[in-house]
Amino acid sequence: MNSGSQDRKVRKHSVLKSFSFAFSGIRAALLNERNLQIHLAVSIAVIMFGVFFGISSLEWIIILLAIGGMFSLELLNTAIERVVDLATEEYHPLAKQAKDIAAGAVLVYAIVSVIIGGVIFLPKILIFLQ
């Protein structure tokens, strides 16, 4: 009996091809996922606010981490939903829990991101309105 190396398909892609797959996944999610489209629109608005208010380098880092984390979690949530839908077409309580828990992770991070935005931008908005 061999070590199983012939039984498994070993796929070796170039780094460029791997990036291509990743960008394809991001594109598919952006085209098909309403929540990701909303996050994109809000992210663009936040970046415009950052430019307008001239936020500091540290504030940019925090904002970009919040935006990147939000997109990453939303993409993971979408992937979990797809895998669950692929695994079963009928209702199953564990499938529902998996999808709900993943959505809950996105919600928690979204709330934290809004708080971060408030801490960074509210003082600047209040000064601007005076």
Active-site positions read 74
* Closest C-alpha to 113, from 59, 46, 67, 50: 67
Exposed, middle or buried by CB within 10 Å (0-12, 13-18, 19+), for 66? buried
Whether residue 71 contacts residue 106, with contact meaning beta carbons closer than 8 Å, is answered with no
Whether residue 79 contacts residue 54, with contact meaning beta carbons closer than 8 Å, is answered with no
